[in-house]
Structure 1
């Protein structure tokens, strides 16, 4: 147990919900400016030309090596591992014993007995805990986010996406660009420097993620931007990059299911009071005294297609029961244009205005939860929202009861904060009702 742990934090408060709501503000992408040009032009680039994103600073790189490395991941992840081999990657999804979501990330099979998990800290934390306490024959090392670490990261990590992404990468690589399947990776050379190239994509557009040693970061960035200049390349700032997840159908930063239940106590004692989990924040109109009401499951997040029940893993029994008759599922909510405009118009009228809608992402906390209603009945939770210029729409991802999940279903989103415990990062405001229409996930055509 650490000298000061998440368990100490939990025990120090009468209400975990009140604690999480008392924390204002959130810096999701350290060392990346809000905008390089304008967020609209940056959004347009991934749909019309090519965009460049710097992902070097907001994710943890966590390496696991050893004879039991694959067993460790298989024991924890909902995913299947048949056919998983060096040179391939997968979106790793992790749940607690009750089947509630812990975290996710991209797992890279680097070589025999060598793996890397890249993503927000929640996933690496859960895996590291089991690596240290579960008797596995593995060694681990990690490179923290730039919000925590002193000095630069070990590796840069960049991404290009959009209709011109392939042409840009063909131009900059020394020799032919490898014909990679989705979520396959290989080493290439760019200006004589070794780069690992992963076939990937966000915002429903084709693209590549690539990385290498930090000392090559400036040279590789310059080469990509020079090659993309004639093709209209734009660098993504934090605002436009943050909106891409909503368009893609990825729910970023749900509250990790670690704050309650005796079975998670050992993990809370292991987690430091300096961990991300100990500093989480929540905002939005959904209001419950029970922190577990803010939890979601992999099934609810749309990851059922990734779950393999042919192997044992943490949370299997609970997820197997849920998958047989799921109560909720992931949808996109398309906000009514007029209702959204009315919230803006309230700023110019007498009386308390509605809660300001930051464009493109109204991001005021690590996790966001707005109540989704059918009449007066709460039937779901809406998470991060985003305005997408390419579709001229305000949308959000929501977990709703399956009876309300058909495209075209009309629901109401309550926009605002509970009066008795408003997140301090949110201004005083009057609650508002936003009419929404259920749409598919992802919202746009997937061109990856």
Structure 2
């Protein structure tokens, strides 16, 4: 029996929206790690005020791309500059369709002259591998799925541990017996610990400095224990799945946008190639902003703040469309700061609502009507309320602008998208994205 494809699922459902729309969908959190170690509030506070350890080893897909055409296939299908891409450096890789809609992003690390590692959710990996095989590029692929989907189970090929927070540098010095070599943001340096070799990637999240340590899984337990032991006097806190899903809201990164692949007739073969039971067919859509047209949820790299990553000095899929759209982004990325009193009233029935995490597309309105949609919302305890990464019409994007968020779950097809369903409104104020000033300035200065 043939495995059903994404196109099979769309045809059976009747439309991409009817396939993907799932009211009250459970928000994604990383697999395998504990949901909480000391409590999500304390874990969020750790990377703001102390030092935090995050285990990223299990929830990402890794795909190694190696061969004489490795750089060419990535450059042909991504907006990035490959003329300046050092071995040991990582970049946010941004593939787009011929219409200029983002497929998704991923973290691309250059491991050798003709070898790369692409990590993240597998939509970008599917895109690159499909076009490489269809185009006859001289390149080979090796994929390690996330732990929840790895065939036959077993351990990952790599461990990934992040050390973040104001005390991160002190912890790293304690572990390695001194400071690591000066390293640019998103560049890595080789390190050894008790004879075990791996790499330290200069990283940061939610405005705090830190490192991501990446190496062979056989060293995972030893490295993890070393950080725990050295971090105990510093009050090191391990971060669980709930808190881990929230720093992107402060850092301005929008995870897993809807891939712009569902409607273009030129991509029918691609949809027939993708399995239905992959991320493109199973990542749900929900919220108060409902449309029968999946294209209303597509986004461009400009809207996500990736305009500076686009390198027009090379030819790539989607280049012409992005050139045309360069000066006319539909929406701007902002952070909405939800009114704490309204959050308590709407989400907590007058009490502290506890942990809030949502990837729903909620309507954002002004006095004139619909002006935007939320992309991810989460409780940020150090801020004292819920923040929402949001795409909003340019005329409403100025910091201080007051809007409202319609919080609810539209039932989907069969109900008017504009129907008054009695959903509560939460007042909100527009602020910059990234919300954190350090993330907004120093991250970009160090790239």
TM over 0.5: yes
Shift of 1:279: 1.1
**Residue 355 of structure 2 corresponds to residue 360 of structure 1:** yes
Counterpart contact for 2:172–2:179, Cα < 8 Å = no
Secondary structure of the residue aligned to 1:386 is strand
Shift of 1:278: 1.5
Instruction: Work out the CA distance in 2 between the residues paired with 1:231 and 1:194.
Output: 25
Counterpart residue number, 1:353: none
> Once superposed, what is the RMSD of the aligned Cα atoms?
1.9
User: Aligned pair in 2 of structure 1 residues 249, 257: CA closer, same or farther (>3 Å)?
Assistant: same
Consecutive unaligned residues in structure 2, runs of 5 or more: 415-420
Shift of 1:80: 1.4
Counterpart contact for 1:173–1:191, Cα < 8 Å = no
Counterpart contact for 2:20–2:281, Cα < 8 Å = no
**Residue 375 of structure 2 corresponds to residue 374 of structure 1:** no
Alignment of 1:96-115 (within 5 A): 96-115=97-116
Instruction: Work out the CA distance in 2 between the residues paired with 1:46 and 1:267.
Output: 41
Q: Which residue of 318, 321, 328 corresponds with 2:321? A: 318
**Residue 50 of structure 2 corresponds to residue 49 of structure 1:** yes
**Residue 131 of structure 2 corresponds to residue 139 of structure 1:** no
Instruction: Work out the CA distance in 2 between the residues paired with 1:358 and 1:52.
Output: 26
Shift of 1:152: 1.2
Counterpart contact for 1:172–1:191, Cα < 8 Å = no
User: Aligned pair in 2 of structure 1 residues 154, 382: CA closer, same or farther (>3 Å)?
Assistant: same
Counterpart residue number, 2:198: 195
Counterpart residue number, 1:408: 400
Secondary structure of the residue aligned to 2:166 is coil
Q: Which residue of 377, 384, 389 corresponds with 2:376? A: 384
Shift of 1:337: 1.6
User: Aligned pair in 2 of structure 1 residues 133, 168: CA closer, same or farther (>3 Å)?
Assistant: same
Counterpart residue number, 2:230: 227
User: Aligned pair in 2 of structure 1 residues 37, 421: CA closer, same or farther (>3 Å)?
Assistant: farther
Secondary structure of the residue aligned to 2:224 is helix
Instruction: Work out the CA distance in 2 between the residues paired with 1:358 and 1:14.
Output: 37
Counterpart residue number, 2:417: none
**Residue 87 of structure 2 corresponds to residue 95 of structure 1:** no
Shift of 1:339: 1.4
Alignment of 1:261-410 (within 5 A): 261-344=264-347, 346=349, 359-363=354-358, 367-410=359-402
Shift of 1:362: 2.4
Counterpart residue number, 1:38: 39
**Residue 240 of structure 2 corresponds to residue 240 of structure 1:** no
Secondary structure of the residue aligned to 1:341 is helix
How many residues get paired? 430
Counterpart residue number, 1:12: 12
Shift of 1:185: 0.7
Secondary structure of the residue aligned to 2:311 is coil
Residues 305-358 of structure 1, C-alpha deviation per residue, up to 9 Å, x if partnerless? 11111211111111112112222110011111221121145378xxxxxxxx96
Q: In terms of mean alpha carbon deviation, does 435-444 or 412-421 score higher?
A: 412-421
User: Aligned pair in 2 of structure 1 residues 5, 219: CA closer, same or farther (>3 Å)?
Assistant: same
Q: Which residue of 163, 169, 180 corresponds with 1:177? A: 180
Instruction: Work out the CA distance in 1 between the residues paired with 2:12 and 2:384.
Output: 46
Instruction: Work out the CA distance in 2 between the residues paired with 1:214 and 1:179.
Output: 26
User: Aligned pair in 2 of structure 1 residues 72, 38: CA closer, same or farther (>3 Å)?
Assistant: same
Secondary structure of the residue aligned to 2:95 is strand
Shift of 1:19: 2.2
Shift of 1:16: 2.1
Counterpart contact for 1:174–1:188, Cα < 8 Å = no
Counterpart contact for 1:107–1:118, Cα < 8 Å = yes
Shift of 1:60: 0.8
Counterpart contact for 1:251–1:301, Cα < 8 Å = yes
Instruction: Work out the CA distance in 1 between the residues paired with 2:353 and 2:247.
Output: 15
Instruction: Work out the CA distance in 1 between the residues paired with 2:250 and 2:305.
Output: 14
Instruction: Work out the CA distance in 1 between the residues paired with 2:131 and 2:354.
Output: 40
Shift of 1:191: 2.1
Secondary structure of the residue aligned to 1:169 is helix
Instruction: Work out the CA distance in 2 between the residues paired with 1:25 and 1:118.
Output: 23
Residues 271-310 of structure 1, C-alpha deviation per residue, up to 9 Å, x if partnerless? 1122111112011100100011111111111111111112
Counterpart contact for 1:415–1:434, Cα < 8 Å = yes
Instruction: Work out the CA distance in 1 between the residues paired with 2:347 and 2:84.
Output: 51
User: Aligned pair in 2 of structure 1 residues 18, 105: CA closer, same or farther (>3 Å)?
Assistant: same
User: Aligned pair in 2 of structure 1 residues 331, 27: CA closer, same or farther (>3 Å)?
Assistant: closer
Counterpart contact for 1:49–1:164, Cα < 8 Å = yes
Counterpart contact for 1:361–1:384, Cα < 8 Å = no
Secondary structure of the residue aligned to 1:44 is helix
Counterpart residue number, 2:62: 61
Consecutive unaligned residues in structure 1, runs of 5 or more: 349-356, 423-428
Alignment of 1:65-76 (within 5 A): 65-76=66-77
Instruction: Work out the CA distance in 1 between the residues paired with 2:207 and 2:401.
Output: 24
User: Aligned pair in 2 of structure 1 residues 27, 410: CA closer, same or farther (>3 Å)?
Assistant: closer
Residues 116-146 of structure 1, C-alpha deviation per residue, up to 9 Å, x if partnerless? 1111111111111112111111111110011
Shift of 1:421: 5.9
